[in-house]
Amino acid sequence: MGYRFLSDVTSADIALKVEGRTKSDLFKSAAIAVMKVQIDDSKLSNRLKKEISLSCKNLDCLLFRFLNEIIFLKDSERFVFGKINLKIVENRDGYALSAIVHGETISGKHKQMVDVKGVSLHKFNVRKYRGKYYATIVLDV
């Protein structure tokens, strides 16, 4: 499915509209979009992997936490990725996500783009409409 940048939502931050056929597709597209904002992935190797496990009562919360977690990985471990495998399951407590992201540590070969500080709650939402999942995301830069 994919993502697109929204120019009429905010003037100082970066806004995205993300869509996917499934919850997993939506989360994958959102994660790749957040990475592409931060780094030119043309020279990115996917030789290392990191596991991410999160849970939350609703999809909005889960996506918000997930995107902030990948931003945290970039900030704390300088880890960026270009490939992602993930699974979202619904359980009695809400939703659980397990993901494996494949990438590498930022080095001199990588062109860094925008330094994203986090995901904003401003305009943030996840919804299902006509069988597809959509999210509006504003990144604090």
Q: What architecture is the 2-140 domain classified under in CATH? A: 3-Layer(bab) Sandwich (3.55)
> Which tokens belong to 70?
């990948």
Average per-residue pLDDT in the chain?
A: 92
pLDDT in tens, 98-115: 999 999 999 888 888 889
Tell me the whole-structure pTM to 2 decimals: 0.89
Q: So what's the pLDDT on residue 133?
A: 97
The string of pLDDT tens digits covering residues 69-99 is 999 999 999 999 999 999 999 999 999 999 9
DSSP string, the chain: -EEEEESSS-SSSEEEEEEESSHHHHHHHHHHHHHHHHB-GGG----EEEEEEEEESSHHHHHHHHHHHHHHHHHHH-EEEEEEEEEEEEETTEEEEEEEEEEEE--TTS-B-----EEEEEEEEEEEETTEEEEEEEEE-
